[in-house]
């Protein structure tokens, strides 16, 4: 009986290693192959080139990203205004070729309630000049320039969606590339005209600081502009009150204006580049700043304090201790229970074999520690390459969630007794596994980490946040300590003979226990399907369920005997393949907007929403959450649904925002990093004039009510 139970556990754990390796590889290559055009539901983005005289050294070459917005959507200028983020371009170019800055076209002012942004709607091209030096060797590149671009943009209507694309383009060195000349001509015509003297600063013009406002004096504007009302766009962000009313007028040829300073001013330039525009034509000037900028926060009685952690930074030693204790607490998480139950059964199997007991414990510990180390190294590597990732990033991928659901379905059917892996695997494989039981213990540790790692943030948010700011070696030490903490109880049990003597002896009860363990496996599948439903919608969850049923039918068919096995199995495989082709894409298909609130009291978080609410005079409570975060869901159903808490929130007129991190979202990742966190849950209360309050991840009614009383 014990040998039968052993074999039933070995096969799914072998599959776990293959699955986990593919997940790590898939996370690093999640993006689709680069191309010239990337389209989303909101924006069509195309990489264009303009090289009418070829692309050899000394020639004029331009690249540009053209964004075509759907109706009512917009992206942002270099100064996005009160909220938003400018589009960013990261180029990969051959040696000897460099890219300049974006030659930004004239933006539009976009009012949003009491705020205002600067950006673009319709179609806009962001041109970038290329410099081709004599060091560029055309022959080495087959007489072409291979251009790659990674672009990130934030597209907004009332909600905001961070998007990105990877582009590739080949420019011939000899011959022209001017198929996009009309688009570039339009973009250049939309650029502000420079108004500079030989020193680079407009003479006899200035910005004079006068208390809580600035006075602009500009000379040298074209005569055709005199007497007209001008639009004013400062290139330096967070200086003026973007949406405020301001005055302007003409004194002969001199244009004068008074503009209020921002209540959240964070910049104090000595030279202020500005764009003045009328009738779609802009003029750019760099103005000297005269006078001293007032102290930050002195321009108005209330200010929004910059984000700051709720507690002082912890030391490396404290982070290591926290990581060790947090790893131990992971063994109590419900998502880990199925794997740990199997581990306990393996201990029972080795109760009379002290050496096997130790080997199993050491192998399991090695699997846990090395898996945490591998996940930490992968996350650090991707972040250093510019990716905005947080801990638990593997469950932000629908493909990963679907793969785990399939794996746990197979394991559950095996434990329930539907089939034995020995029926399908060659005898040579079975012999290798029988001789290497430590491999199975190692794989059980790998699988436990794949499921448990997203649950770490509640226990060690500060430790993981510190890890991102440390050198790689020290950061990896923190991840290692998490693994040591999780493995420590089982390692100690395997090395202490008294523990083995306390375990029940193998017997017929093990078969009953084995079948009972199928139900936690199926419960895990239910959770994973629900997570995928949050990522890919109801169609994605339904498609995954249908595919899991088809997978189960194939496994059942393979247990049949005789001729019917081949016939029925073939039919089931064909049905499964047709389902995969017909509805499989729904599993990976994203819902239109990932960051949606789940209750009428909650609004979706987006960049600038906090500032907008604070400007209106209301405090803000932000819930950073994810569907795959068990602690998030527990807090949501208990503390955040508590009648007393809801009454306090209503009494204080608190604006409730929910930042949903179920799918990968680099903007939310950046917001978490500003708070010193890289995992969820995170709960933050903002109030005018005070630093944000970051509450405990294990949220209690008393803690929330105490924070609300202080508002």
Residue 639's domain is classified under what CATH number?
Answer: 3.40.30.10
User: How many Cα atoms sit within 13 Å of 596 on the Cβ side?
Assistant: 10
Does the structure show a pLDDT above 60 at 496?
A: yes
| Domain presence at residue 296 | no
Q: Give the number of residues written for the chain.
A: 711
Residue 4, H or E segment: helix 2-28
pLDDT tens-digit series, residues 506-555? 667 667 877 887 887 888 888 888 888 877 888 888 999 999 999 999 98
Q: Where are the alpha helices (DSSP H) in 206-353?
A: 316-329, 337-349
Q: Give CA–CA dist 83/502, Å, rounded.
A: 62
Higher pLDDT, 584 or 263: 584
Give the β-pairing of 682-687 and 620-625: antiparallel
Does the structure show a pLDDT above 60 at 298?
A: no
Q: Any idea what DSSP says for residue 640?
A: G
Is 255 in the same domain as 177? no
Does the structure show a pLDDT above 80 at 586?
A: yes
Q: What is the pLDDT of residue 441?
A: 74
Is 216 in the same domain as 171? no
Higher pLDDT, 126 or 34: 126
| Domain presence at residue 307 | no
Q: How far is CA 457 from the centre of its chain?
A: 15
| Domain presence at residue 509 | yes
Is 60 in the same domain as 154? yes
Is 354 in the same domain as 457? yes
Query: Residue 499 — pLDDT band, cuts 50, 70, 90?
Result: low
Q: Are 151 and 90 in contact (CB under 8 A)?
A: yes
| Domain presence at residue 301 | no
How high is the mean pLDDT of the chain? 76
pTM of the model: 0.46
The SS3 of residue 290 is strand
Q: Give CA–CA dist 552/524, Å, rounded.
A: 16
Which structural domain range is residue 637 located in? 603-709
- Averaged pLDDT, 378-400: 60
- Averaged pLDDT, 131-153: 78
| Domain presence at residue 595 | no
Which of 257, 290, 323 delimits the end of a domain?
Answer: 290
Q: Give CA–CA dist 364/360, Å, rounded.
A: 6
Q: Give CA–CA dist 39/49, Å, rounded.
A: 18
Does the structure show a pLDDT above 70 at 333?
A: no
Q: What is the pLDDT of residue 27?
A: 39
Higher pLDDT, 151 or 320: 151
| Domain presence at residue 543 | yes
CATH code assigned at 268: 2.60.40
Q: What is the pLDDT of residue 551?
A: 92
Does the structure show a pLDDT above 50 at 704?
A: yes
Query: Residue 300 — pLDDT band, cuts 50, 70, 90?
Result: very low
Q: Give the residue among 480, 506, 233 at the shortest CA–CA distance from 371.
A: 480
Does the structure show a pLDDT above 80 at 561?
A: yes
Nearest-5° Cα angle at 102, 96 to 108: 170
Please count the structural domains in the chain: 4
* Residue reference for tokens 């581990």: 343
Cis ω on the peptide bond leading into residue 311 (within 30° of 0)? no
Q: What is the pLDDT of residue 91?
A: 92
Locate 468 and state its tokens. 């991102």
Is 24 in the same domain as 48? no
Higher pLDDT, 674 or 668: 668
Is 266 in the same domain as 135? no
| Domain presence at residue 199 | no
Q: Are 521 and 15 in contact (CB under 8 A)?
A: no
pLDDT tens-digit series, residues 33-60? 457 899 888 899 999 988 877 777 777 7
Does the structure show a pLDDT above 60 at 489?
A: yes
Higher pLDDT, 469 or 511: 511
Q: What is the pLDDT of residue 351?
A: 55
Is 582 in the same domain as 646? no
Q: What is the pLDDT of residue 313?
A: 46
Which of 147, 165, 190 delimits the end of a domain?
Answer: 190
Q: How many CB atoms lie within 10 A of CB 711?
A: 17
Is 42 in the same domain as 19? no
Query: Residue 21 — pLDDT band, cuts 50, 70, 90?
Result: very low
Locate 658 and state its tokens. 């929910």
- Averaged pLDDT, 642-656: 91
CATH code assigned at 106: 2.60.40.10
Q: What is the pLDDT of residue 121?
A: 92
The SS3 of residue 318 is helix
SS3 per-residue string spanning 385-449: CCCCCCCCHHHHCHHHHHHHHHHHHHHHHHHCCCCCHHHCCCHHHHHHHHHCHHHHHHHHHHHHH
Query: Residue 16 — pLDDT band, cuts 50, 70, 90?
Result: very low
Locate 60 and state its tokens. 């004029």
Q: What is the pLDDT of residue 616?
A: 78
User: How many Cα atoms sit within 13 Å of 328 on the Cβ side?
Assistant: 10
* Residue reference for tokens 């003297």: 197
Pairs from 565-572 (Cβ < 8 Å, separation ≥ 24): none
Q: Give the residue among 116, 147, 123 at the shortest CA–CA distance from 43.
A: 123
For 57-126, give the DSSP string. Answer: TT--EEEEEEEEEPTT-BEEEEEEETS----EEEEE--TTEEE----PPP-EEEEETTEEEEEE-SEEEE
Could you give the C-alpha distances from 623 to 395, 447, 599, 632, 651, in angstroms and in order? Answer: 19, 29, 12, 9, 19
Is 386 in the same domain as 521? yes
Is 49 in the same domain as 186? yes
Is 55 in the same domain as 91? yes
Q: What is the pLDDT of residue 673?
A: 72
Residue 215, H or E segment: strand 213-218
Does the structure show a pLDDT above 70 at 416?
A: yes
Query: Residue 599 — pLDDT band, cuts 50, 70, 90?
Result: low
Does the structure show a pLDDT above 60 at 707?
A: yes
Does the structure show a pLDDT above 50 at 123?
A: yes
Is 487 in the same domain as 344? yes
Percent of all residues in the chain with a pLDDT value above 70, rounded to a whole number: 73
Which of 588, 618, 637 delimits the end of a domain?
Answer: 588
Higher pLDDT, 631 or 7: 631
Q: How many CB atoms lie within 10 A of CB 621?
A: 25
User: CB burial class (10 A; 0-12, 13-18, 19+) of residue 146?
Assistant: middle
Q: What is the pLDDT of residue 15?
A: 45
Residue 704, H or E segment: helix 701-709
Percent of all residues in the chain with a pLDDT value above 90, rounded to a whole number: 14
| Domain presence at residue 464 | yes
Q: What is the pLDDT of residue 159?
A: 67
Query: Residue 139 — pLDDT band, cuts 50, 70, 90?
Result: very low
């Amino acid at each position: 009986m014990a040998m039968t139970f052993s074999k039933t556990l070995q096969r799914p754990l072998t599959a776990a290693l293959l699955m986990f390796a593919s997940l790590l590889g898939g996370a690093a290559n999640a993006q689709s192959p680069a191309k010239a055009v990337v389209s989303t539901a909101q924006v069509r983005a195309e990489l264009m080139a303009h090289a009418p005289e070829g692309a050899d050294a000394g020639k004029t070459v331009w690249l540009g990203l053209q964004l075509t917005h759907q109706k009512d959507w917009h992206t942002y200028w270099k100064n996005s205004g009160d909220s938003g983020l400018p589009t960013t371009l990261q180029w990969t170019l051959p040696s000897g070729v460099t890219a300049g800055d974006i030659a930004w076209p004239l933006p539009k002012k976009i009012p949003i309630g009491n705020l205002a942004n600067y950006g673009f709607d319709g179609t806009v091209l962001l041109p970038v000049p290329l410099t081709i030096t004599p060091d560029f060797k055309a022959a080495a590149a087959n007489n072409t320039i291979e251009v790659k671009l990674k672009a990130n943009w934030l597209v907004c209507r009332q909600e905001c969606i961070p998007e990105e694309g990877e582009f590739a383009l080949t420019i011939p060195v000899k011959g022209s590339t001017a198929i996009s000349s009309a688009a570039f001509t339009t973009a250049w015509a939309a650029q502000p005209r420079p108004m500079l003297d030989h020193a680079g600063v407009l003479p006899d013009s200035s910005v004079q600081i006068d208390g809580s406002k600035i006075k602009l004096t500009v000379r040298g504007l074209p005569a055709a502009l005199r007497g007209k009302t001008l639009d004013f766009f400062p290139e330096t962000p967070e200086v003026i009150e973007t949406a405020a009313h301001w005055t302007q007028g003409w004194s002969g040829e001199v244009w004068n204006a008074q503009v209020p300073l921002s209540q959240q001013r964070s910049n104090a330039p000595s030279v202020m580049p500005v764009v003045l525009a009328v009738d779609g034509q802009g003029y750019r000037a760099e103005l000297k700043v005269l006078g001293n900028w007032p102290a930050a926060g002195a321009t108005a009685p209330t200010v929004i304090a910059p984000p700051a952690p709720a507690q002082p930074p912890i030391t490396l030693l404290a982070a290591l201790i926290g990581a060790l204790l947090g790893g131990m607490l992971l063994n109590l998480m419900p998502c880990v229970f199925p794997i740990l139950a199997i581990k306990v059964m393996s201990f029972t199997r080795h109760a009379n074999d002290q050496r096997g007991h130790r080997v199993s414990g050491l192998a399991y510990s090695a699997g846990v520690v090395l898996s945490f180390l591998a996940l930490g190294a992968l996350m650090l590597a991707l972040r250093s390459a510019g990716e905005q990732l947080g801990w638990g990033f593997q469950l932000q991928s629908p493909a990963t969630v679907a793969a785990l659901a399939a794996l746990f379905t197979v394991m559950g059917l095996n434990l329930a007794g539907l089939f034995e892996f020995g029926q399908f695997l060659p005898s040579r494989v079975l012999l290798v596994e029988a001789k290497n039981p430590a491999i199975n213990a190692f794989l059980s540790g790998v699988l436990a980490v794949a499921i448990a790692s997203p649950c770490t943030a509640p226990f060690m948010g500060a430790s993981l946040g510190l890890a991102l700011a440390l050198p790689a070696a020290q950061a990896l030490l923190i991840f290692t300590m998490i693994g040591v903490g999780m493995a420590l109880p089982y390692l100690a049990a395997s090395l202490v003979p008294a523990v083995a003597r306390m375990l029940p002896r193998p017997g017929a009860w093990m078969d009953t226990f084995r079948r009972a363990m199928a139900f936690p496996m199926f419960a895990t599948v239910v959770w994973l399907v629900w997570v995928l439903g949050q990522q890919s919608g109801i169609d994605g969850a339904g498609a995954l369920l249908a595919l899991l049923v088809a997978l189960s039918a194939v496994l059942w068919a393979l247990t049949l005997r005789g001729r019917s096995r081949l016939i029925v199995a073939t039919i089931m495989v064909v049905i499964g393949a047709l389902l995969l082709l017909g509805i499989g894409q729904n599993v990976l298909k994203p819902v239109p907007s990932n960051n949606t609130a789940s209750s009428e009291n909650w609004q979706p978080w987006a960049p600038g929403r906090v500032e907008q609410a604070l400007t209106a005079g209301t405090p803000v409570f932000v819930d950073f959450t994810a569907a795959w975060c068990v602690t998030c869901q527990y807090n949501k159903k208990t503390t955040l649904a508590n009648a007393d808490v809801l009454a306090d929130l209503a009494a204080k007129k608190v604006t409730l925002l929910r930042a949903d991190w179920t799918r990968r979202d680099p903007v939310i990742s950046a917001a978490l990093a500003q708070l010193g966190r890289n995992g969820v849950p995170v709960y933050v209360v903002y109030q005018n004039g005070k630093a944000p309050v970051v509450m405990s991840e294990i949220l209690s009614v008393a803690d929330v009510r105490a924070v609300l009383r202080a508002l």
